[in-house]
Each structure stands twice: as structure tokens, then as C-alpha cells.
Structure 1
Amino acid sequence: MPSEAPTSANNNHLLGLKSVAPKGHSPAGANGNGRSSLIDGDLSMSEDDDMPLTVRKSESVSTPPRRLKRKKPVYAESSSDDDTPLASSPAKRAPTAAVAMPGAAEVTTISTSRFNGKQKLQAEAESPSSDDDAPIVRKSNGRAKKPPKKKVKKEDNDGDFDASSSDEKPLAPKKPPASRKRKTKVESDTEDELVKKPTVKRAKKVKKEEDGSGSEVPKPKKRATKVAKDDNGSAIKGKGKKKKEEEEEEVFRWWEADVGGDGSVKWQTLEHSGVIFPPPYEPLPKNVKMKYNGKEVALPPDAEEVAGFYGAMLETDHAQDATFNKNFFEDWKTVMKKHPPLDGTKITSFTQCDFRPMYEYFEAERAKKKAMTQQEKKDAKKAKDEMEAKYTHCLLDGRKEKVGNFRVEPPGLFRGRGEHPKKGCLKFRVRPEDIIINVGKDAPIPVPNMAGSWKNVQHDNTVTWLANWTENINGNHKYVFLAAGSSLKGQSDKSKFEKARELKNHVHRIRQNYTRDLKSKVMADRQRATAMYFIDKLALRAGNEKGEDEADTVGCCSLRCEHVTLEAPNFIIFDFLGKDSIRYYKRIEVEAQIFKNLRIFKENKNDDDNLFDRVNTSTLNKHLTTEMKGLTAKVFRTFNASSTFQRLLDEESLEGATTQEKLNAYNKANRMVAILCNHQRAAPKTHDQSMEKMRQKHRALKYERMKLRHALFAVDTKYKKNKKYKDDESDVDDDFIASYEDDLKEREVEKAQKRFAKDNEKLVEDGKSPQADSVLQERIRIIKAEFETLAEERGTKEATLKKSRTAAQLEDAIDKLDGKIKGFALQIEDRDAGKEVALGTSKINYLDPRITVAWCKIHDVPLEKLFSKTLVTKFPWAMEAEQDWKF
């Protein structure tokens, strides 16, 4: 069942509309945790509407009036004559070639500043392949002026492959940035390291603060004043570095190099080790059997494996879903026809099946894994890393690049998203015979790590995938790509955002054109203009037709009459399932002409008829390319998402704000964009628990402040009359104090026990005698004595500190705590506001990362507070954006 989606009246100005949005819903289809071999697998990389976008208010731009070759039709707003069928023959239209734009809105102003070469961040974390990774299978007619040394073709603007939208041609390759000469003069050891050997380790380097500001910036690691060099002149890492020198790799700075191509070739040489197949099934112990009608059933391995998939998920929401159970049972019975129970049991009723013994066995195995010692976990991880080492990287044009999703999905039960009709179906085991390998002509053919031969081996340098296969549930193609931080993926991402920035030079004219066509006498043109209005103003996805065996999700072009309700005088109500079965429900006030058009489109139609029966995604995108080369609905949405985000950030006045206040302002802007884009999620099941923990921690900080106040009173009684210190903390009562101190005592005792055990382990490893138990008992006695003192102080407004402090020191400590308490209250507010909003989706795919980088530099906010290590790895090209950069 969908859950409520947050809405806010504060978002209305983003649309340029008056929106009254009742709370919508998100699907409750969150995946439950089963066996480690069970994964969702519902990662379709071929969905057309993979790129969420947002909305922004139209800017007022002065442009010369357009001269039309025909007279505009005149519609009397109050007349019903307009509601007659429109002419079928097309009328002549004004040309749509781009015109000069003398003025552009501030939100879409291009900055002419150069990248700051001294502020660079790189990361080494491998990023899992996302939905926007997709093969490039269509050639462009673009041609480079001269052949580059290394040909690396950019992907299309989204990186998406969409078999159902063949009309969306790849964007014309943009002229690559001129190759920048590297500095040859070495000013210092540090500069030499940064210029000559840029490595992924540089992501951890933090620019030193020189302005003396009090912002909460994490302290950078101490660096020696003198940097030792090896024979090659590279800096030698200190002993504190855990990772070995040989593990550090150079990052190909493609955004500084000449990486232009001929419009189709993505690489010259490619060598890799293929993919890793999951291990074969290991039968359960003989004493672990499912039951049917109360009796144990002896299943052969193939049938037992499928039963185990369900048994591992027995306590999840999926096992309570009727569609999931029905599909699983049908597929399981099909498997049992080929591999029937060994004891002859006939399984015909799902309700008679008892998978509890399997579930309990899997839970016990999980508990054993959690109970492993740290050394055992390290050994297991080391063995796993060694086994996967050769698969994690490939050689692309002689460069070592990370591979993204090199693991083949194990078999399991399809979980789907939302109300997917195929959830619960069996995902077959993928074998080498199912996989096509793509590798260079002269490269050795990878050898699969299980018995079998590849389905095919090809040498196609016009695509960027390394392997692909077709999954059996929805017939979707699965691809293995390079990691998110690779040069090919980075070029695709940057090209996508640059194409969106280019749109700002054309958007005013495009809006003028579709506004004019809202009154066109040609029905197809009028429908197309209305659809463009929705995509632009309401951030609707373009949408594609769905098959009967797919989830009933729709976008703008695939809306049916039942999805749009008209409410006089000019309100419309949208109610449909969008991507991932997220409910889109909004009541919006629109222009009178839009309302009138919808009334015409719905006439003489049934609820299940298409609202736009003369427009589809292909024709819409074909028209958009006439407005701007390479323009699609996805580009429109990316542009609106980033430009709106930029404007919201610029509107916030953060002078004198704390770091947490700045973070809240950033997350608020991100959240408003995500809500408008319908990037909703179901509130996490543990949200209430985590919020309660945060509130308890907040009260604990107030408890510490109370103790400091009481200690201050003991030093000088005059502080009792000081307004700043005399009032008690409102929500720290006697019951909380008693409960908190008891919990704190238990934690301190447990911490002492763990420290004692760890110290003894180290002593034994060093060949020394372990400490006697009496040492631990003495430590525990001291801890209990301290808490007995605290118990005696309850209600007395007295406090005994471990270390005596002066009044000035206590005042400073209280001031610091006041800052922490205020900051933590803001964290609680921010966490609760975003419980039903997916902020990560926008950051990964739809918001130009340079907006965030520049904003962090302007407001002195550490980038790592907003971008995970994975995102820093994904967008190395954006890390050098100067603080005056604007989308």
C-alpha cells in the first residue's frame, strides 16, 4: 500500500502554479532482507523515464516579437465554440530555428570562470552501476577535426538505453575541452605531488582554512613539512597509511585531455576478465526440511533451492503479499515437475506448506556470521577480495579502469517495485551460455569461473558495456559497465549536464512556441503543446506504453482519462502511478486554456482511453529536436531540476549561519526539488526508532549541560542569578536522569569489559601474560562508585566533575554544548522532514554536481557532509568548479 508523500505550500512558487497537493503515497514495496544470495534484481537499465527532473518558474525574458505567417486563431474564453473538434489539416507554422536571446534569467547564467586547478578532489571507492548506465548502440554523424591520440566516445546525454524509444538519437558529441598543459615548475613538494601524480588518494585532502572562520570543518590529517620522495620523485606515504603504495592508481584526467572521437568509437583496446558467477547451490543439512501438511518433505537440490528462496523471506512483507505468493508457488510447482520430491509427496496447496524450518536455519546461519570475530571477518573479506581482484578492473586503451557491476545476479525470487504483477516469480540462474562478452580484438578471451562457454564474444568498440545478458522475468537486458568514476561514464555525465545548460539559451523561445500551440487548430499540435506544458511546469516524465505483464505505471504521454480529473473553474487533479509505482497525486490550478484543452481531449472517451491519443514519446522527442539539437524530455527535466536547485540555494541568506543551519538549507532545497519530481519513498520502518534515539541523545546533551551548570554554581553562586544559566533544562526530569544514568553505567561497564578483553588478546599475541580478572573487577568497581555519586546528586543541584575547572572554563564548555544542542535539534528536524523523500536520486542523476561543489566553497561547508565518497568518485570532473560557478 502506498504511504503518504510529503507536500508543502512553499513549493508552489517553483511551479509558477497554485498547487494544493493532498498527501500522496509511496509504495510499501521495500525489499525485505533474505539470504545473502537474494537480491532485488529489478534494475532495469532500459526504462525511458529514468531521468527524474523538476520544475522551475519561467523567467521573464525580453525577446523580439515573432512574425507569424498566419493569423493566430482567436478563442473567446467564455465561449463554448472552442470546444468543437479541431481541424485535421495542419496549418503553416512559424519556423522554430533558434533566435538570439539578449537576456537570460539569473538562474541559468553561464559562468565564464575557468576551473581552479588547485582545488581537485578524487576518490577511489567503486560505485555500483546505476540505472542510467546504458549501452551506446547508435552512431552519430559528428566528426572530430583531427584524430585524437586516445579515442574515448561520450555516451548520450543520459546514458540510458531505451529499446522502446528508438527515435531518441544520441546527442551530438560536444567539442572536447582543450588539453591543458600540466605545470612543469615545481613550487613545493606538495604541489609536485598534486601536479605530477594525481591519485585517487587526493579525495581525502582537505584545503586548509586560512580565514580563521569558526565553521565546523573537519581537521585535515597532519602532513609532514618535508615530503620524502622515492626514486621517481613521488611522495612516500607515512607509516600510518593502511593501504599499500602499489594499490594507489593514477586517475585519468579526461576532462583536461583531448578525448574527442569520431562520433561512434568509444575505445581502441579493451581487456577484462569477464564476470563472476555466484557459487553453486549447497544443499541444506539433512535435518532441515520443509513440511507439507505437517510432514517433512525430501526435496531434490533444485526444488529445495527454490523453496529456500521463499523460506529466507518468510518474515518479510513480500511473504504476506498474495501476488508474490501466487507467482512463487506457480514457478515452484513448475520446477517440481522436473524435480519432484524424493519421497513422492504431491504438493498442490500452498497453505499446507511450512517453510519455518528453513527460515530458522537461515536465521541461525546469519547469527553465526554476525558472531564471527574481527579476525575471522578480516580473513573472510581478504579471501573474497583476492578471488575478485582480477575482475574489479579492466584495461581500457592501456589505462587501468574500475569495473562497476562485475558480479552476476544469483538466482532468487523477483521482488519488483510497487504493485508489479510478476513479483515472486523465479529468477533463473545465469550461466556462461547466457552471456555475451565484449572485448578488444587482440585481447585474450576471458575464462568463466564456472563450467560452460560464452554465448558469444564480440569486439564492438562503439559500445561501452563489457558483458550483457537477458533476464527471464521482464526480458530486460542486463549490462556490465565501467564504474561510475570511470572516464567513459564521467564524459557521459558531463555531456548530459552541459546539454541541459545549453537548453537555457533556447527555453524561453520553446515556451513561447508551445504556449502559442495551446490554441492550435491541429489536434496533434494542441495535444503536444499541452504535454510539453506538463513536462515543463509539473516535472512529469515523458512516459512509455507498458505491456500487460508490467506494472501499470504511466508518464505524461501515456496518461489515461481516468488519471486526470477536471474541477471547475480551472483545477485539475492528477492521480496515477509513476515510475517505481510511486503515486503521483496533486490538485493544481492551471491556466484557463490548459483546462479547456483537457476538457476537449476527454470528450467522448472512456476512462481507459489515452488522454493524448495523438501524441507519444517518439513524436514528442522528435519535435523537441527541431527546437534544439539533441533535446529530449529527459534533457528538459534535467535542466529544470538543476536550475530550480540553483535558484533555491541562491535565495537562502546564510550569512553568520552555523554549519548545520547551512546543511539544513541545502537539504531543504534538495527536498523541495525531490518532492516536485515525485522522488518519494516509503518512510523507513525504523524511522520512529531512530528518531527516538536522536531525541534521547538530544536530551543527553542537555543532561551534560545541566551538570556543567551545577558545577558552575558550586564555583560561584552568583551564576545562579544569571539569566543564561539559572533556568533548568525543560525536558530533563528526574525520571529521565535516573534512566539515563543507569543506561550510561551499563554502557561504561560493557565498554570496560570489551577493552579488557581486547587488551588481553593483544598481550597474548605479543607473547605476554594476560591481565588477571581482578584488574577488570577493580575497573568496574570504580565505575559503579562514580555512578553512585551521581545518584546521590540527583535533585540536589550539585555536580562533582572528574576534573576541576575554573568558572571561565565551565562557561566555555557550556557555550560549546549550547552549539551542539542547537545543531542536533536541527539534525532532528531535517531527518524527520526527509523521511518520505529520496534525496539521493536527485544528487546522483539530476542535479549538476558543480552546483554543490561551488556552494560548499562559497559557504565554507565540507563537501564530504553532502557528497559521499561514491559521489566524489562519480564526479571527479566537477570537483574543480570555482565558487562563482552557476548552472
Structure 2
Amino acid sequence: MASSDDDMPLAGTRKLNGTNGVVHSLSEKKILPTVDAVMDRQIPTNGKVVPGISMANGDVKVEDTPMKDVDDHLTNGAAHAKRKVRDSLARPDYAEAESSDDDLPLSKKRKTTTAPAGSDSDDAPLIAKARANGKTVTKPPRATAAQIGESSDSDVPLGKKLVRQKQKIEKAAEKEAKQIRKDEKKESQKPNKKAPAAKKVKKEESTDDDKPLAKRAQAVVKGKKVKAESSTPVKKSTSKSVKKEETVDPEDEEEEEDDVKWWEDPTKGDGTNKWETLQHNGVIFPPPYQPLPVHVKMKYDGVPISLHPDAEEVAGFFGSMLNSTHNVENPTFQKNFFDDFKAILKKTGGATSSKTGEKVDIKDFRKCDFRPIFDHYDAERQAKKALPPAEKKALKAAKDEAEAPYLYCVWDGKKQKVGNFRVEPPGLFRGRGEHPKTGKVKTRVMPEQVTLNIGKEATVPPPPAGHKWKEIKHDKQGTWLAMWQENINGNYKYVMLAANSDIKGQSDYKKFEKARELKKHIDRIRKDYRKDLKSELMADRQKATAMYLIDQFALRAGNEKGEDEAETVGCCSLKYEHITLRAPSTVIFDFLGKDSIRFHEEFEVDPQVFKNLKIFKKPPKKEGDDIFDRLTTTQLNNHLKNYMPGLTAKVFRTYNASFTMSRLLSEMKSEGTIPEKIKDYNDANRKVAILCNHKRTVAASHVNQMEKLGDRLKGLKYQQWRLKQMMLDVDPKIKKKKGAEFFELPDDLDEAWIQEHQAFLVEEQRNKIIKKFEKENEKLQAEGEKPMKQKELDERLDVVKELEKKFKKENKTKKIEAEGKSPSIEKLEENIIKFDARIATMSVQVEDKENNKEVALGTSKINYIDPRLTVVFCKKFNLPIEKLFSKTLREKFEWAIKSVDENWTF
């Protein structure tokens, strides 16, 4: 899918609440002192400030309960809602995704709790909803000690431990912010002994307090490096290059002097124009629709029907994905698809009976049978899988050759990789979460809808035969190469440079530098919003409360949506029904967040924040009314810009994750094996996710994955136990020397499991031999030689028969004979020690995976934790960067890998 970017023109930006006319507010303009006094008597604050920590963590358990037993105070009456997992669907070759599941949103959360009796009466509408649902929700378990990297035997309750940790980090942030400002003030007051030389330095290198860190980094001036003033009291980082891990295609190699390290000159490209010359070959379109064979027909009420090719293609969209039950069984998906299907039928002349030619009026979705279409496409998929390797290789080569011209562009004379040059194929819109438009038809994008952005002097790539481009632009301020508008939400799709390109790298760099800049101001921001939590003005109090929720709980700011858009919500657009209050200071959120993913979390908040939310929900407010009715996202971001240029609400997520990781890294000591070091990093990453409230729903496949890992671990233990039994075969007296316990079967293995595992090993061996035999035969055929006969395979499979006999004998005699040439106690002991290491490594991996099940480590590592911190960890503890960053990420974060050493600090 093509990407979008902040600097794109024509993007479908929505008008924020209150930016187009006067906002009608139900909240009073001022809060009377008597209101606060009453609140203070009901819920004493005691002057305590509570850092935000999520109290719920775990799977949601929904139980059917008789109506009379339903708790009167269920959160938002939405406990019965079910978060479904989106199936992985095959896409056509021309639409292969180039992303990884590490980029999934952090807000994939589904936590819930039951609010006890005694909840506030202002939540009455939610109570009514709960009764109507007839369901109750049991409270999920809290995060385990292991999930935050703490020892499980600690006497300190988990909640207190998390709060203490967060308080410690916030105090460190306050102290560091003051020190940064103090050092910068001291630096600016120093007499400039080299005044004449200073004139040669660019203006961007001044030590102005309001200047972003990016503009105080090393700058390149007339070929000489001039060190900018440090923005922090910590040690300056040095730029150290590392060797590339992957081999580079000779065609892509460039001369060393052309390899510009732009991160050493962050001011480059900060001007209006992003490029001066730009040449590319446009986009590649999906192939035209190929009609179904004449014998493949959709049925209606049991009768095969004929359709116009355009309608048949739409029917094929649904029919080809019958295996995706999550989508095709979704009532919203069905309704949206059927509405669009009927519209295309009406436009193309309707359907006719394949037998009689009479008109068929398709009115009832339940009478539609798409199974023949599914069977046809499924057979094609299976046939493609079964192709010989040589044919698969030839098809891939042809595909690569066709796409080669689109892979790169020439940007200011430098070859840059293009991110995604494929126009999206037509199909059915899935959406994420509970998107209201799921199932609607994504129409085919034609060249007449595509606008190209290219250099004025460049050669415009020709459109497909018989077509023309919508428009040719020469927008030097844009970083996009092509764009078009999709029909579902009216959004603009953009073709951009790849993640490892200079432009994308600079965007990431600036994002994290902005978060670093926030370090200098965070104490003042927190001090101000905590003070304004008791402001007399309602607008100021709402703004302060919103700031608290965004800073402490990583809530997104949120914008108002149009009537036909997904009802997604952020902090500023929270409605009355999205918040449930439970005395003395618990707030339960339940709303559709980014990508229509349900955000259902329970938080312990500062008592003053709890009181404020009670005030914001006071009558005459009711369901559908805004909580923050005197605040908009625009107003909030404009307020933040007073502290620091370019500061917006979303910077807090990046800052909190990166600063927390930085503090944990400074206190960390990682020793041991590579898997143990990886686990140490993941433990820190997990702490960041929990302390910053970045969590995810447990994947549906997690249980199966853990079972497989458990079986692999038990398999290693079984092999080690067999080696010990072989020692007894070589020298029975060894039992007395080693002790009987050494030779006992591990506690988690039993005879039933052993026999099952033996059968698995036999089958695994058989499959390996058969696959190898088939592969060798295919190679012989490709070389024009005669394939081997079945007899050869039968002879090879004799090994499997021998293995099966051996296991049967061992189970019967309870004795395992030593294997190999000249087996000895010494050799067997060496192998046993090797298995100890393998078992230890696998145990760490199993524990790590279990701990990670509810934490979006990939998302926080890529999007919120400064990648330079990951590089520092690797260099500090001698861990290969490949263990934490995939090849794609190493290319994306090349600037981070090459620009810091182990002494760099966030």
C-alpha cells in the first residue's frame, strides 16, 4: 500500500471541533470554589501526585450471567464486545506488502474490569447498557512481576513498584531538564574569545535555548566539521562508522565520497525545497481482470447465473476470500459488500440465468452462493504452490524484470529506492478493528486518477496505452512521487521513498530529536498542567486534565470525525459514555481508538484528575456530549508550542518511551549469552511498554506457539535424557558415581509424551527424506536427465523403518543402546553439556515469549524508542545489531547505527 505523509498536498484533513464556528459548550465557563470544596470533602487529595499506571493487564473473560446477577456498574455496557483477529490473507503478486507486523498500532488493546457497586450516579446510561447486554466481565490478571523484569519474590506489591519506578523516572526528568537549561545558560554567558571566526559559522549553530537539538548537532561548513554546542550535560557522542552487514549489488555501489552522512549535517534539507531534480518511472498498475472460465458461475437460489465482467469481478472479490471467516461472516462486511454488489449489478444490466437466459433479481444475500468461485481461485492457488521450483523461479524472475524500472528514482542526482510503486489492486476494503466501511468495494485505480510529481526537466514516464495521467506536478516542497484518491474514505495515497532513503531517515531523525528537545521543557510543562488541574477557568482545567492523560497514559490527542467516517476517538474527542468513574480514583476508558481498535483500559489516576472528570461529566451532560467541550486538539497543540517550537501532543509518546528506555539502559548490566542479552533488552523494552501504557491484546495464536515451543524444549530434554541412558549402556557402574537422580526422566516428560514424540520424530525423518528425493528429481529433470525411480526412495526410507524399530525396542526393554562409532563416557558427557546450553537458551526464549504476549515490543522499538538507544545497548554489551534489528530495520535506521557510540545518551 502506498503511504501518506505530513507534507502531502490535497490530503483529506478534517476540520477540528471548534475550528469552524462557535462551539456550544455545556460546561460552565468557570468552576465555583464551592464545587471544588464539595469534591475535596468527598475525595481527599492529600497532596499526592499519582503517576499513571494501567491497572488491568490480561485476557478478557466474558461469562454468561442471568440478568438478575448482572453488576449494575459495568464499564460502558460494552463488556460483550469481541475483538476479532484479522486473518492473514494472500494478496496478488503485484500487491505484495513490504511491511512487517512490527508496524502494527500500539492501541491494539482489550482490557476490562468490572466496576463495583457504588459507582457514581452520573454513569447511569452506562448501567442501563450493561443490563441490556446480560453479560458480566471478570477482572483480568494484573501484569506479572516477570513482565516488568522484576523478581517475582519481592515483597513490594506490583502496583507500588510500578508507581515508584515511574516517580523515580519523572524526578530524574525534572532534574535533568533543570540541569540542561542551567548548562545552556552558563554556556551562553561565556565570553567568545574567537569572535571573528564565529562569523563564519552558520546562524543555525547558535546556542539559543529555543533551538532544536537537531540544529545544534555537528554541522558541515565548507568541508570542515564545526562542533555545535551540546544540548545536554552528558558526554558528547562520536560518529563511528560500522561495516555493512549485507552484501551490496555492484550496480548499486556508489563511490565513497558520494556517501553523504546527512545526520552530521541536519540543517541540510531544512529549507522549503526538498529536491532540485527528480526523475522516476511512475507507478505499476495491477493486471486487468481475467474473466472466470465459462463453467465457473456464482449461484443464486441454487441457479448458476451469468454476470457482466465488472459485476463478476466484484463477486470474485467476495468469493475468493470465503476462507477468511473473520471478514465474510461479519454482518457489517456482508451488508456493505452486498450494497455495492447490487449497485454494480444495476449499473451493468443485472444477472441472468445461465440455463434459460432469464433475468434474475438478486435481492437476498443469503441466497447467494459464491462457493464455485472460491473453489476455482483456491485451485489456482494450490496449483501455483505445487509448481516446480524452476517454474517458480522463472515466474519470479519475470516479475522482478517487469518491476525493475520502478524500484529506484534519481533524487538530486542520487539513486534512491522507492518505497512502494504498486497501485493498490481493486478488492474489498477490510479496515482494522470495527471499521464501519469494512466490506465496501475498492474500485480499480486508473491512470486518469494518478498525479505524478517529477522534475521539470525530467522525462515524464508514459502512461499505459490508451490512457493519460491526471496531472503532472513539479512540487519541490513535497517528498511524494505519485498520488491518487481512493474511493472508500476519500483519502489520498502516496508513493514515497523507501524507509532507508535519506528523506525518510531525516524524518525519523527529526522526530526523535524533537523528543530529545522536549527533555529541556518537560518539568515546566508538568508543573504547569498540575497547577492548572485546580484552575478556576473550565477551559484551563480541561486543557490541564487532557495534558495529564496524554502525558501519563499515552492517549492520542484525537480529532472530530465526519458522519461517514469511523467513530475513532482520542483524548480531546472523548464523549460522556467513553469514561466510567469508580471512586476513589479509578477511571475506565472504553472507546474505538486509532484504526478502529477498541481501547478498553482501567487507570488509577491522580485524585484531582478524578474530581475534574466528575465535574466534566456533570448534568446536563449526557451520552453523546463531549467531555472536553471547551478544548480542541488545535488549541492544545497551540498551547504546547508556547513551550517549544513544533511541540505537539504526539511528541510525548516518543519522549516518554525514549527517556524511560534511556534511564533503564543507564542502570543496566547485561552479561551472559546472546539469548540472555536479548532477553535483558526485551525486559527493558517491556518495562517501557508497561510504564508508558503501550500494550496489546494477546494474539489468538499465542497459545499454539507456546505449545510448540514447549514441545521443542521437551524434545531437547528427551534427547539429553537418552544420552544419559546411553552412558549406562557403556558403563553401568556410572550410575553409582553420578547418582540415580542424574539419570531420572525429567519431571515434565512422561511415557505417553515420549511415544507421541517418537512418532513425530519418525514422521519428520520420513518427510525430510521424501522432500530431498523430490528436490533431487526436479533438479535432474531440469538438467535433462532421467529422474530416480521409486525403488531408490524405498531404499532411503529403510532408515525410517530402522528408527521406528529402535524406538519400539527401547520402550519394551526400557534400555537405550549407545549410538555412534566408539561411544565413550567422555564423548557422551560432552554432548550432555552441549544440551545443557541449548536447553538454557530455549528456556530463556520460552520465558521471553510468554512475557511479551501482552506488550507491543516491536511497535515501541520501531516507532517510540529512539533507535540510537538500541544501538547503544548493542555496542555497550557487545551484542550484534542483527539480533535486535532485522535487515529492513538496519537499512531504515542506518543513520542511528552509524552516528553513535556506546557513550551516547538520549
Q: Same fold (TM over 0.5)?
A: yes
Distance 2:379 2:523 in 1: 63
Q: State the 1:456 CA deviation.
A: 0.7
Pick aligned residue for 2:718 from 703, 717, 723: 703
Distance 2:846 2:754 in 1: 21
SS of residue in 1 equivalent to 2:493 = strand
Write out aligned runs for 1:306-385 (5 A): 306-316=314-324, 317-339=326-348, 340-342=350-352, 343=357, 344-385=359-400
- 1:276 lines up with 2:266 in the alignment: no
Bigger mean CA deviation after superposition, 286-295 or 827-836 = 827-836
Equivalent residue, structure 2, for 1:731: 748
Pick aligned residue for 2:607 from 592, 608, 611: 592
Equivalent residue, structure 2, for 1:245: 250
Look up the equivalent residue of 1:462 and give its one-letter code: Q
- 1:776 lines up with 2:832 in the alignment: no
Look up the equivalent residue of 2:245 and give its one-letter code: K
Equivalent residue, structure 2, for 1:628: 644
Bigger mean CA deviation after superposition, 668-677 or 527-536 = 668-677
Gap change, CA 1:678 and 1:320, over 3 Å in 2: farther
Residue pair 2:481, 2:496 contacting (<8 A) in 1 also: yes
Distance 2:690 2:388 in 1: 44
Gap change, CA 1:738 and 1:258, over 3 Å in 2: closer
SS of residue in 2 equivalent to 1:274 = coil
Residue pair 2:108, 2:695 contacting (<8 A) in 1 also: no
Equivalent residue, structure 2, for 1:745: 762
Gap change, CA 1:692 and 1:809, over 3 Å in 2: same
Look up the equivalent residue of 1:36 and give its one-letter code: P
- Sequence identity percentage: 49
Bigger mean CA deviation after superposition, 577-586 or 869-878 = 577-586
Pick aligned residue for 2:496 from 471, 481, 484: 481
TM-score (norm 1): 0.76
Equivalent residue, structure 1, for 2:5: none
Look up the equivalent residue of 1:28 and give its one-letter code: K
Q: State the 1:324 CA deviation.
A: 0.7
SS of residue in 1 equivalent to 2:571 = coil
Write out aligned runs for 1:190-589 (5 A): 202-204=243-245, 245-248=250-253, 252-256=260-264, 260-261=268-269, 263-316=271-324, 317-339=326-348, 340-342=350-352, 343=357, 344-449=359-464, 451-589=466-604
Gap change, CA 1:433 and 1:755, over 3 Å in 2: same
Q: State the 1:540 CA deviation.
A: 1.0
SS of residue in 2 equivalent to 1:400 = strand
Equivalent residue, structure 2, for 1:819: 837
Residue pair 2:525, 2:643 contacting (<8 A) in 1 also: yes
Look up the equivalent residue of 2:351 and give its one-letter code: P
Gap change, CA 1:338 and 1:676, over 3 Å in 2: farther
Q: State the 1:348 CA deviation.
A: 1.2
- 1:637 lines up with 2:644 in the alignment: no
Gap change, CA 1:264 and 1:310, over 3 Å in 2: same
Equivalent residue, structure 2, for 1:610: 626
Gap change, CA 1:492 and 1:18, over 3 Å in 2: closer
- Per-residue CA shift, 1:612-668, capped at 9, x if unaligned? 11111101110101011111111121101111223344455433x332232223223
Distance 1:744 1:878 in 2: 45
- 1:60 lines up with 2:171 in the alignment: yes
Gap change, CA 1:341 and 1:801, over 3 Å in 2: same
SS of residue in 1 equivalent to 2:292 = coil
Residue pair 1:276, 1:448 contacting (<8 A) in 2 also: no
SS of residue in 2 equivalent to 1:728 = coil
Q: State the 1:809 CA deviation.
A: 2.4
Gap change, CA 1:19 and 1:254, over 3 Å in 2: closer
Report the aligned-residue RMSD: 3.6
Equivalent residue, structure 1, for 2:56: 21
Write out aligned runs for 1:124-135 (5 A): none
Write out aligned runs for 1:53-132 (5 A): 57=167, 59-60=170-171, 101-102=181-182
Distance 1:585 1:470 in 2: 33
- 1:884 lines up with 2:892 in the alignment: no
Distance 2:793 2:174 in 1: 81
Q: Which has the higher helix share?
A: 2
Segments of 5+ residues of structure 2 without an aligned counterpart are 1-47, 61-81, 110-161, 185-200, 205-210, 226-240
Distance 1:839 1:62 in 2: 23
Q: State the 1:777 CA deviation.
A: 3.0
Look up the equivalent residue of 2:55 and give its one-letter code: V
Distance 2:568 2:541 in 1: 24
Pick aligned residue for 2:674 from 639, 659, 663: 659
Residue pair 1:582, 1:680 contacting (<8 A) in 2 also: no
- Per-residue CA shift, 1:192-227, capped at 9, x if unaligned? xxxxxx99xx5326xxxxxxxxxxxxxxxxxxxxxx
- Per-residue CA shift, 1:791-823, capped at 9, x if unaligned? 212252323313334322222211121121122
Bigger mean CA deviation after superposition, 817-826 or 836-845 = 836-845
Segments of 5+ residues of structure 1 without an aligned counterpart are 1-12, 65-96, 105-143, 148-169, 184-197, 206-240
Distance 1:790 1:280 in 2: 57
SS of residue in 2 equivalent to 1:596 = helix
Residue pair 1:30, 1:682 contacting (<8 A) in 2 also: no
Q: State the 1:476 CA deviation.
A: 0.8
Distance 2:717 2:654 in 1: 44
Distance 1:882 1:62 in 2: 23
Equivalent residue, structure 2, for 1:82: none
Q: State the 1:330 CA deviation.
A: 0.6
SS of residue in 2 equivalent to 1:717 = coil
Residue pair 1:667, 1:830 contacting (<8 A) in 2 also: yes
Equivalent residue, structure 2, for 1:803: 821
- Per-residue CA shift, 1:404-450, capped at 9, x if unaligned? 01100011111111111111111111011111110001001112245
Look up the equivalent residue of 2:754 and give its one-letter code: I
- 1:758 lines up with 2:778 in the alignment: no
Bigger mean CA deviation after superposition, 402-411 or 552-561 = 552-561
Look up the equivalent residue of 2:327 and give its one-letter code: H
- 1:857 lines up with 2:872 in the alignment: no
TM-score (norm 2): 0.74
Residue pair 2:695, 2:856 contacting (<8 A) in 1 also: yes
- Per-residue CA shift, 1:592-619, capped at 9, x if unaligned? 3222222222222113211111111101
SS of residue in 1 equivalent to 2:215 = coil
Q: State the 1:24 CA deviation.
A: 7.0
Distance 2:793 2:690 in 1: 54
Distance 1:21 1:848 in 2: 27
SS of residue in 2 equivalent to 1:364 = helix
Equivalent residue, structure 2, for 1:209: none
Residue pair 2:543, 2:631 contacting (<8 A) in 1 also: yes
Residue pair 1:695, 1:828 contacting (<8 A) in 2 also: yes
Q: How many residues align?
A: 727
Gap change, CA 1:597 and 1:763, over 3 Å in 2: closer
Bigger mean CA deviation after superposition, 699-708 or 583-592 = 583-592
- Per-residue CA shift, 1:327-347, capped at 9, x if unaligned? 111111111111122542111
Residue pair 2:676, 2:844 contacting (<8 A) in 1 also: yes
Q: State the 1:102 CA deviation.
A: 4.2
Gap change, CA 1:625 and 1:612, over 3 Å in 2: same
Distance 1:99 1:628 in 2: 17
Equivalent residue, structure 2, for 1:111: none
Residue pair 1:281, 1:305 contacting (<8 A) in 2 also: yes
Residue pair 1:394, 1:400 contacting (<8 A) in 2 also: yes
- 1:693 lines up with 2:693 in the alignment: no
- Per-residue CA shift, 1:542-595, capped at 9, x if unaligned? 111112222222111111122222222232222222212333333333223222
SS of residue in 2 equivalent to 1:630 = coil
SS of residue in 2 equivalent to 1:818 = helix
